[in-house]
Amino acid sequence: MLPESPPISTMKDAAVLPGTDTARMKKSLVRTLAGVALLGTLLSGCTPLIPRRQADYSEPSAECRAVYAPYANGDSRRPPDLGASACWQRSVESYPDAGYELVFTEFDDQGWTARSNSETVDRLESTLERLRQIQKRAGGQALSLVVYVHGWRHDASAHDADVIEFRKLLHSLARQERMASEGKQIVGLYVGWRGQSIDMPLIDTALTFWDRKATAERVATGSVRELFSRLDQWRDTLSNQDCTPSGTTQFATKDKTRSTGNCVHMLTLGHSMGGLIVLQSMSANMVRLASAAVENQASHQSPPGVANLSPYMPRQGDLVIVVNAALEGARHEALHQATRRHNLQYRPDQLPVLISVTSDADLATRVAFPAARILSTVLQPTPTRSQWRATVLTAGHDDRYLTHDLVKSSPSCTEMSEDEDKTPSTELLQAEKSQITRRVQEIRDGRSAADARHYGQEEHFCTGLTLKARPENWSPAGNPVWIVHTTKDVIENHGDIYNPHFLSFVRTVYGQIISVLNSSGGRDADNQRRSSTPPHASDAR
């Protein structure tokens, strides 16, 4: 028989007795209210959903070009009030006097092409159409497309620090191209996503790293894959044409005595979680390209007494560079193995396809990343120590994957200097161009030499950086996937990717690669790419 319930008055009296439930209730209420207050604070500090840019891909007006002009050189000034001019909301910024154009495309938290509720414009298609228009408007002048995917705590806002620094990079590339008799038109494509979800720096740093990493992984498996694939296909298709200094576009011929050049070159850059987006979205295709090199070697065995044809790994665009990528080494393992199969011996003129650079001064990927990975993978079986390290560390912090070191040394061309506007000096840019010319000639001269030095064994750069291969890990020699370790005096911290020393390294390596590929020999080597793709794609290079 159940006991009788106490009278309501008794329950009421008991509820207010000191030292019993009242204290616990008060504490619970305080915690609840504190949680609500914190949630309100976070919500009030949340950044707005993307897109940051409105879908206006038309030619900027004279008024907008005048608004943009003071910021063309990418100095540290930020637009004072983004709401004061609709020009800063556009998806295209034009800097004709500085020699470059900047296009924006954005993806939402689910990896879909970003659009507002009332918008019917296909931003991805509009982005590609804008690039086609720029290429046609160039009238046969070669195009150099620089794609940048930002990382954690950034977005596509006009006053975002990465947008400002990206303008500076484009400005320096345009200045360098103007020094050449057959300079290329520079176009930047800024790939935006919501890398910053809370507009409160301390809270953002403490709470959002893993939430934003999960978002970056969704972006990597979303529509950005189509963007990269279509950019690569566009580059391939136009590379079946020659862009001549006269400004006319002609289809490529078999006349090897005529100097030719590809119409579109493409450099892809990714930082932090942007590096994650680049690597994950491209990884399957890169593994396929690496596998094509293996199969080409296996299917082209030479007769007895004749040397076998060395493989040449084709490329995604012209070059991919990621910096301080927030991606575990286990995601790199497939590409790592694919480029090392069957005792490959790459050709002496094999050029890098992917360069991943990580600084040991990057605490975000060296300390915070493995700490969180250890907690999140504690129940995942890892039979070997190598597998455990690959699961919790990024490839750039795992000695097993490291192929090169990028270190400070004595300047090989000129002392680092900057003009008054904090951009690279004219003397430095000229020295870089001269170094590119010298090194490209060495690569060309060494193509048929049995003892030719593989590109990447040891390279010296104007601003005092030296790239040295680790022979025990850079296997086989000429391996086109570089995992590069560097130090604080080269990249000072997680976000220090736009410092002048490292940008000089980027400009020089990219310049050397496209100069080699512009030569007939370089183009012939790269024509071996994508044997499994449709004829119009594989014949494009």
Most confidently predicted of 46-50, 214-218, 340-344, 411-415: 214-218
- Identify the CA nearest to 216 among candidates 155, 137, 296: 155
Distance CA 301, CA 309 (A): 7
Contact predicate 465/407, CB 8 Å? yes
On average, the pLDDT of the chain sits at 80
Q: Which of 240-244, 493-497, 521-525 has the lowest mean pLDDT?
A: 521-525
pLDDT tens digits, 190-231: 999 999 866 655 555 556 777 888 999 999 999 999 999 999
The residue count of the chain comes to 541
pLDDT band at 187, cuts 50/70/90? Answer: very high
Characterize 154-186 residue by residue with b for buried, 16 or more Cβ atoms within 10 angstroms of its Cβ, and e for exposed: bbbbbebebbbbbbbbbbbbbbbbeeeeebbbb
Contact predicate 441/471, CB 8 Å? no
Contact predicate 337/348, CB 8 Å? no
Tokens 């049995």 -> residue: 450
Phi, psi of 355 (to 5 degrees): -125, 115
- Identify the CA nearest to 12 among candidates 21, 24, 2, 23: 21
DSSP 49-74: PSPSS-S--SPPPHHHHHHHGGGTT-
pLDDT band at 243, cuts 50/70/90? Answer: low
Contact predicate 491/497, CB 8 Å? yes
Q: What is the mean pLDDT of residues 2-22?
A: 41
Q: E strands within 370-411?
A: 404-408
pLDDT of residue 418: 62
Instruction: Say yes or no to pLDDT of 541 above 50.
Output: no
| Percent residues over pLDDT 70 in the chain | 72
pLDDT band at 490, cuts 50/70/90? Answer: very high
Q: What is the mean pLDDT of residues 448-458?
A: 71
CB neighbourhood size of 436 (10 A): 23
Instruction: Say yes or no to pLDDT of 5 above 50.
Output: no
Please name the helix (run of DSSP H) or strand (run of DSSP E) that holds residue 468, with its range, or none: strand 465-469
Q: What are the CA-CA distances from residue 473 to residues 28, 193, 384, 408, 518 (Å)?
A: 57, 35, 19, 21, 30
pLDDT band at 15, cuts 50/70/90? Answer: very low
Q: Using the 8-state DSSP alphabet, how is residue 117 labeled?
A: T
pLDDT of residue 356: 98
Phi, psi of 354 (to 5 degrees): -135, 130
Q: What is the mean pLDDT of residues 404-423?
A: 75
Q: What is the mean pLDDT of residues 63-70?
A: 92
Q: Which of 404-408, 410-414, 504-508 has the lowest mean pLDDT?
A: 410-414
The pair of structure tokens assigned to 13 is 């009296």
Q: What is the mean pLDDT of residues 86-90?
A: 91
pLDDT tens digits, 293-317: 777 766 665 555 444 556 678 888 9
Tell the burial category of 368 from Cβ atoms under 10 Å away from its Cβ (0-12, 13-18, 19+).
middle
Instruction: Say yes or no to pLDDT of 35 above 50.
Output: no
Spatial neighbors of 186 by CB under 8 A, at least 6 apart, are 99, 100, 101, 144, 146, 170, 173, 174, 177
Instruction: Say yes or no to pLDDT of 144 above 70.
Output: yes
pLDDT band at 129, cuts 50/70/90? Answer: very high
The pair of structure tokens assigned to 536 is 């119009």
Phi, psi of 412 (to 5 degrees): -95, -15
pLDDT band at 447, cuts 50/70/90? Answer: low
CA 231 to chain centre: 14
Most confidently predicted of 70-74, 403-407, 526-530: 403-407
Instruction: Say yes or no to pLDDT of 75 above 80.
Output: no
| 316 SS3 class | coil
Instruction: Say yes or no to pLDDT of 257 above 60.
Output: no
For the chain, the structural domain boundaries read: 62-76+85-296+311-406+480-499
pLDDT of residue 203: 55
pLDDT band at 185, cuts 50/70/90? Answer: very high
CB neighbourhood size of 362 (10 A): 27
pLDDT tens digits, 352-396: 999 999 999 999 999 989 988 998 888 889 999 999 999 999 999
- Identify the CA nearest to 293 among candidates 250, 335, 328, 327: 335
